[in-house]
Structure 1
Amino acid sequence: MLSCHPTIDILTEYAAGSLPLAHSLGVSVHLDQCPHCRDQVRRLNNIGAELFSEHSAEVRPDHMASLKSKVMASLVNHEETQAAVDDNTAFQHIPRSLRRWIPQGFNDLNWMPLTPSFKLATLSNESGGAQIALSRVKPGARLPNHTHTGNEITVVLKGAFSDDEGLYREGDFICRDHNHKHQPRVTKDAECICLIILDSPIEFTGWFTRLLNPIMRYFHPNSAAT
């Protein structure tokens, strides 16, 4: 049973298509693993469909037919692509929304070691936008103390970790902002891999780990944070 979910405001923006793309990816990865939030989004989509139908009479029939044809073609292409990736065992334990980003599985990513127990693999560095990455931490390890210079979304993909606010398991969706300072610790039974979406770089606050801050800023695409 998941304990951490996106807020209703985030789900509403996601359903409306107004959430930034990087944040939408985080929500999609959570939805892959959370029936409760999928139901919430379905309800929000139904409300949107009702509002749309109220104005559909103003739309020309030929435009509606063209729109319907494009949507149906898109759905068919998606189903064919999804059937192909579902047959690939390299995607085992990777949520569907991430499989295009991780074509050969976790182990074949370009992992950058930051400490003896903590690695980072960047998936996307869109210029001026959010950083999309994976973190990989050894069993029982504690991440360095850090704070956030902007919003951070974390979705647990494998294993579990805890901090002062709780325990987070596979599928949990956690939001942090600049007011949060914490030191996550991975449970001892397994390594922990998380999807992280950073609007701005994290700031390590320890005496020695502060030396990593220039590296985190260097690899973050948001030029305003560098």
Structure 2
Amino acid sequence: MNVPVRHLDHATLVGYSAGALPVAFAAVVASHLELCASCREQLRAADAIGARLIEQQDGAPLSASARDAFRARLEGAAPAPPVVVAEPAPVDPDLLPTPLRPWFGERYSTLRWRAVGPGIHLLRAQDAALGAQLLMLRTASGKRMPMHSHGNNELTLILRGAYDDVLGHFGPGDVADLDHETEHQPVTSHGVPCICVAASDAPMRFSGWIARAMQSVLRL
């Protein structure tokens, strides 16, 4: 199993812990967390800090009736069921990360890709509740993408394959946590197509006129 080496920005983790991210970004974050033990540990630290801050806040006192009702609920609560430790299930390489399945389906083999260019296929999640754009992109191996920057924030998780850009090498499980200051031109590695999932809250900015014309059609 590949161990991710490119991780979430600390501010992104704090935003996820606080429940402040749009659903589209949260889906990508949760998918990376499913694959990355290091970021899960960082998230636990962020959760602990948030819990400490809540504890330090002055809460309104409970009324006598509310206190009695709460005590009655505690006394009448059923005992917790015993914890059963199950054997780890075998990993099915055809399954998408769990947080992505509500938007794209369960399996890579059943994804209905839309061809948008030579060697490039797209799948867009359509739901107003996402709060931002969420899409999956499959790019043929050895392909150079157009040079571009980002209108605001973009979070990209590599699911299969790999690419290289000015920031380095990104493989399965790695995440590119980018803002408007980053301009790059990913080049997919040879071997297998690169599949990634990305959330963005503003359109990309392409340098070439051909890419800009494609952008107007694809709404990237």
Deviation at 1:27, TM superposition (A): 1.1
**Which runs of 5 or more structure 1 residues have no equivalent in the other structure?**
73-82, 221-226
Distance between the aligned counterparts of 2:168 and 2:10, measured in 1?
21
Shift of residue 197, structure 1, vs aligned partner: 0.7
Partner SS state of residue 208, structure 1? helix
Percent identity over the alignment?
32
Classify 1:113/1:52 alpha carbon distance in 2 versus 1 (closer, same or farther; 3 Å).
same
Which residue of structure 2 lines up, in the alignment, with residue 114 of structure 1? 116
TM-score when normalising by structure 1: 0.76
Change in Cα spacing, 1:58 to 1:18, as seen in structure 2 (3 Å) is farther
- Aligned-pair CA distance for 1:41: 1.0
Give deviations 1:142-162, integer Å, cap 9, x for gaps. 112222222111011111111
Query: Is the 8 Å Cα contact of residues 163 and 171 (structure 2) preserved in structure 1?
Result: yes
User: Post-superposition shift, 1:105?
Assistant: 1.7
- TM-superposed CA distance for 1:207, in Å, is 3.8
The residue identity in structure 2 corresponding to 1:29 is S
Paired position in structure 2 for 1:198: 200
The 1:45/1:179 distance shift into structure 2, 3 A limit, reads closer
CA distance in 2, matches of 1:93, 1:173: 19
- Residue 156 of structure 2 corresponds to 154
In 2: Cα distance, 1:36 partner to 1:127 partner: 29
1:49-74 deviation digits (Å, cap 9, x = unpaired):
344445578455545959xx8xx9xx
8 A contact 2:164–2:186 mirrored in 1: yes
Q: 2:25 touches 2:200 (CA, 8 Å); kept in 1?
A: no
CA contact (8 A) 2:22 2:131 kept: no
Q: How does 1:68-83 map to 2 (within 5 A)?
A: none
Task: Describe the superposition over 1:2-47 as per-residue Cα deviations: whole angstroms up to 9, x where unpaired.
Answer: 2221122211121111222222112111101110110111122223
Query: Which deviates more from structure 2 when the two are superposed, residues 119-128 or residues 10-19?
Result: 119-128
Q: Secondary structure at the match of 1:124?
A: coil
Q: Which moved more, 1:53-62 or 1:197-206?
A: 53-62
CA–CA separation in structure 1 for the residues paired with 2:29 and 2:129: 21
After superposition, where does 1:200-219 map in structure 2 within 5 Å? 200-217=202-219
More helix as a share of residues: 1
Q: Is the 8 A contact 1:202 1:216 kept in 2?
A: no
Q: How many pairs does the alignment contain? A: 202
Give the unaligned 5+ runs of structure 2. Answer: 81-85
Instruction: Give yes or no for the alignment of 1:138 onto 2:149.
Output: no
Q: Is this contact kept in 1: 2:123–2:136, CA < 8 A?
A: yes
Q: 1:128 to 1:106 in 2, by over 3 A?
A: closer
With normalisation by structure 2, the TM-score equals: 0.78
- Kindly provide the CA deviation profile for residues 143-189 of structure 1, in whole angstroms up to 9, marking residues without a partner as x: 12222222111011111111112000111111222222221111102
- In 2, the alpha carbon distance for the partners of 1:63 and 1:198 equals 43
**Larger-Rg structure:** 2
Aligned to 2:99: 97
| Alignment partners' CA distance in 2, 1:126 and 1:113 | 24
Question: Which residue type is aligned with residue 132 of structure 2?
Answer: A
